[in-house]
Structures are given as structure tokens and as C-alpha cells.
Amino acid sequence: MTTHLIAPSILSADFARLGEDVANVLSAGADIVHFDVMDNHYVPNLSFGAPICQALRNYGITAPIDVHLMVTPVDSLIEQFIAAGASMISFHPEASLHVDRSIELIKNGRCQAGLVLNPATPLSVLEHVIHKLDYVLLMSVNPGFGGQKFIPHTLDKIRQVKSFIQHRNPHVKIEVDGGINTQNIQEVAAAGADMFVAGSAIFNQPDYAAVIKTMREKLAS
């Protein structure tokens, strides 16, 4: 039995009242907080860093914080996010000179470790590290911005990753990120995803609970 986790991306939250907005989306039924870190170097956009993660913890957010690092280099930020209360940390392999070392850093910090594959990144990057990973984050848009359209080819890729992990490390979860909404979440789940990142689909609606409820109904059917 698969447990499906809904992970709102706070990139689309109200930054002026972030703690309250994150608390609201969790009360509305979200499972984990997806925290997109952008550096205007690895991706052409700038978001927020570890002090904001720490601020959410200080505000009283206890849900898992799922840090998605779109930065290069990655290791110094991994250390900062471990100290700031992250629960899960993922990074893009091409952004790290030593992928195995970056994974070890995350694991040594007692966080779950994930590797992120862009739409054009081949599965071969998983070959020698899959036994160390807790999850694979599959990008269903090119990283850098919220509100983009889901790339349909991702569905095939989810199925390929699902088959790959079933043979090598079935404990690995699949998270999918980008363009997920109430219309496509069912087919993303059917392809094999366990965790669903949704930014604009949730935060751009006035009633978060209604969107999350619809998502859960689609996941259950």
C-alpha cells in the first residue's frame, strides 16, 4: 500500500506572512513542506536560504521540511540546512563535484537524501548511488520557476525510475515536482509517484483545503 504525500512548494506562498501561510497549508491537510532553494546561478532565479528554514522552525512548524537545492556548489548549503532543521535534502547531481560525498553529508546530518533529475537528465546518474538514497526527485518542468506546465514525457520517466528502483532499492520513494494539479495528479500517481509537489495549484487558490481534498480524492480513486 502506497502512502501518497502532498508537498506544497512554498515558492508560491505569501512571503510577507510565510509562517502563517505554511501553518495554514499544513492545517489544510498538506503532509510536508517543499522548500525550493534557488541561487541565480544553477537556475536563473533567486528564492530563500537556510535562515528562512530556521525561521519556520522557530515559528513552530514541526512538519517535515523537504529542501530542494537548486544551487551550485551544494555542500556548504547542505550543512546550513541540516543546522536549520531540514528533514529531507535533495540536490541536482550536475551541481555537485562529488555526488557521493554530498549524499553522505546529508545522511550524516540525519536527513533523508534525494537526488534530483531534470527532464533531460538520464537515469544513469542513479546507478552507483541508488542504494544510499531515500528518494528520487523527478522534475516535471525545467527548474527555476513555479507555475510552469507539466512535461508529459515525465510519466514515462516515472515508470522507468519505478522499475529501476524495484530492481535495485525498493525502499526509494519517487517525488515529482512541477506543474502538478488536480487534473494530472492521478496519472502521476498511476505512473508510480509517492510524493507530489504542488506550488501554484495550491497557493494560487483561496481554499487550500479544498484543493488538497480534491487531490486526495483523485489519489484514492
Binding site per annotation, positions for a divalent metal cation: 34, 36, 68, 177
Residue pair 177/6 in contact (Cβ under 8 Å)? The answer is no
How many CB atoms are located within 10 Å of the residue 125 CB? Answer: 17
Residues 32-51 that bind ligand DX5 (CB under 6 A): 34, 36
Which partner from the list ligand DX5, Zn ion, none does 114 bind, CB cut-off 5 to 8 Å by kind? none
Question: 12 or 96: whose CB is closer to ligand DX5?
Answer: 12
Could you give the angle at which helices 75-83 and 99-108 cross, rounded to 10 degrees?
10
- State the angle between helix axes of 208-220 and 18-27 in degrees (0 to 180), rounded to the nearest 10: 40
Q: Which 82-111 positions form the footprint of Zn ion (CB under 5 A)?
A: none
Interface with ligand DX5 by CB under 6 A: which range of 103-111, 142-150, 152-160, 185-193? 142-150
Out of 21, 39, 134, 177, pick the active-site residue.
Answer: 177
Nearer to Zn ion, 10 or 191 (CB): 10
Go through 137-160 and write b for each residue having 16 or more CB atoms within 10 A of its CB, e for each that does not.
bbbbbebebbebebbeebbebbee
CA–CA distance, 44 with 220 (Å, rounded to integer)? 37
Active site residue 177: yes
Within 49-78, the residues that bind Zn ion by CB under 5 A are: 68
Q: What one-letter code names the amino acid at 13? A: A
Residue 205 binds ligand DX5, judged by CB under 6 A: no
Binding mask 144-183 for ligand DX5 (x = CB under 6 A): x-xxx----------------------------xxxx---
Give yes or no: 207 in active site: no
CB 154 within 8 A of CB 179: no
Chain residues that interact with ligand DX5, rule: CB under 6 A? 9, 11-12, 34, 36, 68, 70, 141, 143-144, 146-148, 177-180, 197-201
